[in-house]
Structure 1
């Protein structure tokens, strides 16, 4: 029996399992997974094959993922929101033998899932699995050589078990409304895989508007937890009057810290707890404060061994999570360098995360590498120099070789960057403020001071 059957799909046939456009019990989900497995087999996939999935949030994504794993294939997950150029780069790096795509494309911005889920399996000139990893992911926003991340079935199972030991995480028979993307680590492992294993019911709301989320929460009186990003908690907290939600137990967020103002507004508005999680694609959940009791500190997740060296958070792991070309400085002597700054309170064992030590930022719970955005803009016609910073939003400052190029910059970014990576503002400077050694300053205040106000 496969780990999919043992860990994810075991349980009573008639227990509610997944709710998208309708609720499916475990027997129905097992049947759909079996059908998808037969379809992959008919296309030529088998144990050891490599399969890339580029599907919108949907029943098809879930059942195809489970079917490929049940077959013994190695699965690479590609976010459907990636631009065509990003997809081409990912396929070139991953070299999958099969690509499964949807005829529907990405759902609308406020859709929680796609209902038009017909899929197409295409055979590619790829390579079979060279490692025992069940899952491959490209670290969000990066095309660097050390950013293909592999996780084995044993590693995923161990993380699922860590979730079961977290006080305050959803229990058997409860419901989990997942707003986080299920192709990224929080939505995938904390949402989909843990929920399947735990015997809870995973719910993807039809719409991720305030009314849509509230409708999904209020559809059942059973205890319900929402899994998403702080920005979604902010939207819910600031919303007007709505229906009573007696089953609303908690919201748990990942990606960004939850401040005192948001915590107070949310908990007073709904009477539900608001918790935080810190993790990364390489290892999953690292530390949590699921009830908001330790803000801004977090308790290390069960089994996670943390160290602080030169102000950086290090995680002890059995092996490097990276596949293929690697940066030798990221995993050394059994310790993974997170590139996150942090401090560990020796008296309480609690962790404080101070933010990134490199160029990655979190936008609505999704990681964006500012240097990748910068490199992409630097290649556009007419651009001389560019600096991209996170100044409330992603903001780009540029100098141009051709002033006429400014009008076409936004359109030129479209095919090259996913929407959440694109700068919300582009400022053309007459010249960059620079350091004594000639490097452009990256201080947002200094950059803003060099913006020339329009005349007229």
Structure 2
């Protein structure tokens, strides 16, 4: 049945109720409501509302929590011929009073008296109402007023945007941007006052589908999983920030969806790329549009190549019944020229309530193609490319989007100046911390030096939560740029990185409290968090709440609903709820665990040559101060017990597997004192060159050697149980246990890392989702010719291990690399890899090169806490366009990496390439021992599995480049020539 733009939304729902009376329209708290029941109940309510004076010309405030009554009420309002305005019951009384005063209606619909509102309250009846015989639902045209949305305004007051029925109905016409029908199941989770609520609700109700009403404040990963598994959810809308959060915390939560709409803010290409690699069959849409054009103006089906576009993901093309113009003043812009995005068509709002002047300013008539068109000036800047795709290019004013809400800083500034004793205020969106932006206010107090205590609490009494600044700071004067404008960068530079907002008890009573507090601190970027202070008082945003729940759910392997965190807001309170609601324990699958493809590589090397040292990972720290050997040995034992990979035997018979054993930790070997730190390190290096018998769980060893006033502590761990990420995990756990043992205390309770069996199940689940065969199959990598190295390599292997050629990439050079990456729409790594490949081609004279790139595979629950081998190797084939010149070559290299990354769950093989290139971004291995100063020193490898191994490590805003080479394969002068050419290319 086609949507008709000339009828009211309620009329279409009534027709569907007659055609499919028993179809489920709503599901709330597991109770289904059929179309017939919904329509008849709304008729009864509409008759009573009409008797109370509601009818055409009314704009009725609906102040109800998300639920069946809320949906029934708005449908009943429409049946009277009136329009509805959905208001949030959580808004401050002052805000509710302010907006209801703008709405002409005889009553307000609520389930209780509304503070701050002087208007009769119509309460939804608990029992069904009989329909008076003389009542007939109003029949209206598509142009009739339907609903009011409130958005931020520059005057210091919210704006009421009045939209017609056809503005919503046009989204679901034939040939629209997605598939909507009787099998469409959509969660209703958006904030009620927002136009995205209309998208979610009417996408179901205008098409005979089902709306699943979500109890959580927004659609969390857990609620999404439940919606798909329990109710068959097919279609979802998420703001960009929320989409990024779910991608970061629980990418598997999208399993089972058919189509996903995202937008509200500029998209993150990184998160989009990760989603598409994991869920290539889900229709992913970028939706763009201001509320004045009702939900969406344009949409774009996002494809993998869009994540690599220099200008970001396109806004796309107009939805049905919509026209988009890009104007320079009143003149249409040519393709490629930037102008203001202006919108025309059936989606346009009718007006701003009570503001004819603003309506005339923003809704204007322009001449396009010889015709007069009414358009809305969005204030967004954009351009159309040669293919007709619309692209976003920023704002012409200060407006910002935060979690999909449109915010005018001027409105908040005026409110701050009204409510606080200040002479002036400026509000800036802080994007420096990564993730979602945060609003920060700077004020000049009326009395110099006034700290403005209690400012946030005062603002919360008036402003909705998404408009309340995260902090209010005082200044003597506002800094300005040379052009006389506010210097926002100078203001933001004064901020401390995410300060903790409160102090309280920090001692956890048990492991549950410690786990929750650790997750709180991790989400906030803090070292610790008190257990008795609400998470929001520590500075957590609404998305931080979702992140915490997702991480707890992953580590506990059980749902942690966001509403439970809101009910139990501190670590102590939430831990108590978790204990009371404890599910039955999970039973381990056993102690023997199959190996991953990379572990098979390491085991194969070891079996072929037990003297092989390419799998030895060396870590050393120079320690100044008193080192307690007994405490250090205790710490080694604690870490050994905590991490299963360190006490596992890796065997090939009867099949390749790791068997976790209950064995003693390695002893702390104490070497004779050396005259210098360098000689102590050399002694450790000789000790660690001995064979590790990994088949007998001899996986790691530890030792110390004195050197004057210092001590060198080191360990060697086989790569089959270790990777780069593990360095920081091992150092942190050693320090925690050492500091506790030094005081004679037990180490603080920490969440346990996943078992080997759990880690492998996560790996298998990921591979199964990708459709990749996990069996090693080296034939798939055949093809790249061997590298022919010039020069005269040394005879035999190097006596002191691989050769080493270091250099430094200065911050200015790295900034130029980043500029090139942005211009080409690729990552920093792609630019570095391109120049490395080009330099390698120049040195070898070859135009077909295979390069190995290590990639972390820490996707399972709690994997970031584990020591282990959680990585794979990508084989990148650089040839053709990837070795050409110009931005196209950068994009080709990025495409090469993207293709390899998409197939990362495939088999690993050391035979596919002779060269490795790694951009390391792991946390530093900081060993923070009480009473001592420590410095991590990166050791040279004992041996290399490949001819050449190039690594780049962060160092003082630049990068330290280290090129290792096997002297018997790559001559010293060849390695130096390669590094020199790469350095010159980057500097140029």
State the TM-score, normalizing by the size of structure 2: 0.40
Aligned with 1:226 (options 236, 239, 242): 236
Asked if the contact 1:9/1:196 (under 8 Å) is kept, the reply is no
Structure with greater Cα Rg:
2
Q: 1:219, 1:118 → 2: CA distance? A: 32
Asked if the contact 2:110/2:124 (under 8 Å) is kept, the reply is yes
Q: 2:186, 2:107 → 1: CA distance? A: 31
Asked if the contact 1:432/1:450 (under 8 Å) is kept, the reply is no
**1:69: how far off?**
0.6
Deviations 1:348-389 (A, max 9, x none): 111012233223222111222211111111223331221101
Match in the other structure for 1:376: 415
Match in the other structure for 1:185: 195
Match in the other structure for 1:7: 12
Q: 1:23 to 1:349 in 2, by over 3 A?
A: same
Aligned with 2:286 (options 276, 300, 324): 276
1:411 aligns with 2:422: no
Match in the other structure for 2:319: 301
Aligned with 2:375 (options 310, 315, 335): 335
Q: 2:322, 2:156 → 1: CA distance? A: 26
More helix by share: 2
Q: Secondary structure at the match of 2:292?
A: coil
Q: 1:290, 1:399 → 2: CA distance? A: 47
Q: 1:443 to 1:43 in 2, by over 3 A?
A: same
Asked if the contact 2:185/2:212 (under 8 Å) is kept, the reply is yes
After superposing the two structures, state which structure 1 stretch, 289-298 or 171-180, moved more.
Answer: 289-298
Q: Which runs of 5+ in 1 are unaligned?
A: 107-116, 121-130
Q: How does 1:37-436 map to 2 (within 5 A)?
A: 37-103=46-112, 119=124, 132-140=144-152, 147-161=159-173, 164-188=174-198, 190-207=199-216, 208-221=219-232, 224-240=234-250, 247-270=256-279, 272-284=282-294, 285-292=296-303, 294=306, 296-297=313-314, 298-310=316-328, 311-317=339-345, 321-323=350-352, 324-325=354-355, 326-327=357-358, 328-333=360-365, 334-345=374-385, 347-392=386-431, 393-402=438-447, 403-434=449-480
Deviations 1:145-196 (A, max 9, x none): 89332222344333442xx5324343331211233224321221x2212321
**1:337: how far off?**
0.7
Q: 1:203, 1:375 → 2: CA distance? A: 39
**1:42: how far off?**
4.1
Q: 2:213, 2:394 → 1: CA distance? A: 30
Q: 1:4 to 1:225 in 2, by over 3 A?
A: closer
Q: 1:246 to 1:279 in 2, by over 3 A?
A: same
Q: 1:229 to 1:452 in 2, by over 3 A?
A: closer
**1:141: how far off?**
5.3
Q: 2:284, 2:90 → 1: CA distance? A: 28
Q: 1:261, 1:424 → 2: CA distance? A: 27
Q: 1:374 to 1:5 in 2, by over 3 A?
A: closer
Asked if the contact 1:52/1:77 (under 8 Å) is kept, the reply is yes
Asked if the contact 2:170/2:320 (under 8 Å) is kept, the reply is no
Q: Which runs of 5+ in 2 are unaligned?
A: 1-5, 116-121, 126-142, 308-312, 329-338, 366-373, 432-437, 500-988
Q: 1:247, 1:237 → 2: CA distance? A: 15
Match in the other structure for 1:19: 27
Q: 1:406, 1:105 → 2: CA distance? A: 30
Q: 1:48 to 1:312 in 2, by over 3 A?
A: closer
**1:278: how far off?**
0.4
Q: 2:236, 2:54 → 1: CA distance? A: 36
Q: 2:271, 2:123 → 1: CA distance? A: 40
Aligned length: 426
Q: 1:401 to 1:225 in 2, by over 3 A?
A: same
Q: Secondary structure at the match of 2:202?
A: helix
Deviations 1:211-233 (A, max 9, x none): 12211122144x61111211221
Q: 1:265, 1:118 → 2: CA distance? A: 47
Asked if the contact 2:422/2:444 (under 8 Å) is kept, the reply is yes
Q: 1:9 to 1:239 in 2, by over 3 A?
A: farther
After superposing the two structures, state which structure 1 stretch, 38-47 or 260-269, moved more.
Answer: 38-47
Match in the other structure for 2:575: none
Q: 1:133, 1:283 → 2: CA distance? A: 14
Q: 1:320 to 1:49 in 2, by over 3 A?
A: closer
Q: 1:8, 1:182 → 2: CA distance? A: 20
Q: Secondary structure at the match of 1:282?
A: helix
Asked if the contact 2:451/2:474 (under 8 Å) is kept, the reply is no
Deviations 1:259-297 (A, max 9, x none): 211112223445534321001211122100144465611
Match in the other structure for 1:446: 490
**1:93: how far off?**
2.5
Q: 1:140 to 1:292 in 2, by over 3 A?
A: farther
Q: 1:174, 1:17 → 2: CA distance? A: 11
Q: 1:35 to 1:140 in 2, by over 3 A?
A: farther
Q: 1:139, 1:239 → 2: CA distance? A: 30
Q: 1:144, 1:133 → 2: CA distance? A: 25
Asked if the contact 1:205/1:213 (under 8 Å) is kept, the reply is no
Q: 1:201, 1:446 → 2: CA distance? A: 50
After superposing the two structures, state which structure 1 stretch, 310-319 or 11-20, moved more.
Answer: 310-319
Q: 1:241, 1:309 → 2: CA distance? A: 40
Q: 1:26 to 1:416 in 2, by over 3 A?
A: same
Q: 1:10, 1:356 → 2: CA distance? A: 43
Higher RCO (Cα < 8 Å, 6 or more apart): 1
Q: Secondary structure at the match of 1:219?
A: helix
After superposing the two structures, state which structure 1 stretch, 72-81 or 259-268, moved more.
Answer: 72-81
Q: 1:76 to 1:183 in 2, by over 3 A?
A: same
Q: 1:238, 1:436 → 2: CA distance? A: 40
Asked if the contact 2:10/2:75 (under 8 Å) is kept, the reply is no
Q: 1:407, 1:146 → 2: CA distance? A: 26
Q: Secondary structure at the match of 2:378?
A: strand
Q: 1:209, 1:132 → 2: CA distance? A: 35
Asked if the contact 1:391/1:444 (under 8 Å) is kept, the reply is no
Q: 1:3 to 1:431 in 2, by over 3 A?
A: closer
**1:433: how far off?**
0.9
Q: 1:98 to 1:160 in 2, by over 3 A?
A: farther
Q: 1:401, 1:118 → 2: CA distance? A: 45
